[in-house]
């Protein structure tokens, strides 16, 4: 099962290097629709990974990407991610039946809110990594 991970551009004291989002990944489709409805950027739009990670994943799966130009890793402003996470949290708290596993998703969104708040205060860019 894929997992979403918050990756910060540099270490921030008090925040683990990888912040998981298994339940968020399970609800990816529901959350993307909800983000559109709320008028915020979808979490999917924050996905990125380094060419080295892409190449490593390809090799694990028996693919040769040596002739492929890989996209550079993209970093996003944490305040923008925080806006999305906050909007999703607020809506799910008010409408708990909006998605199947609301309580578990809210637990992860609470953690993501904390991490992105700290990243905003520290001015540390972030992106979302999909781990398989």
List the structure tokens of 5.
């991970």
Summary count for the chain: helices (H), strands (E): 5, 3
At 53-64, the pLDDT tens digits run 655 555 566 666
Ordered by start, the domain boundaries in the chain are 3-131
CB atoms within 10 A of CB 108: 23
**Residue 24 CB contacts under 8 Å (≥ 6 apart), including other chains:** 4, 31, 43, 105, 108, 109, 112
At 41-95, the pLDDT tens digits run 999 999 987 656 655 555 566 666 566 665 688 999 999 999 999 999 999 999 9
């Amino acid at each position: 099962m894929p997992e979403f991970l918050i990756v910060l551009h540099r270490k921030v004291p008090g925040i683990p290097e990888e912040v998981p989002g298994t339940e968020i990944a399970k609800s990816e489709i529901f959350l993307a629709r909800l983000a559109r409805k709320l008028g915020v950027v979808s979490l999917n739009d924050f996905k990125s990974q380094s060419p080295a990670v892409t190449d490593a994943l390809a090799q694990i799966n028996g693919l040769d990407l040596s002739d492929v130009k890989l996209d550079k890793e993209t970093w996003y402003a944490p305040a923008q991610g925080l806006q999305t996470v906050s909007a999703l949290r607020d809506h799910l708290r008010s409408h708990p039946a909006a998605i199947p596993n609301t309580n578990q998703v809210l637990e992860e969104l609470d953690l993501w809110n904390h991490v992105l708040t700290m990243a905003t205060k520290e001015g540390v860019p972030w992106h979302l990594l999909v781990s398989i």
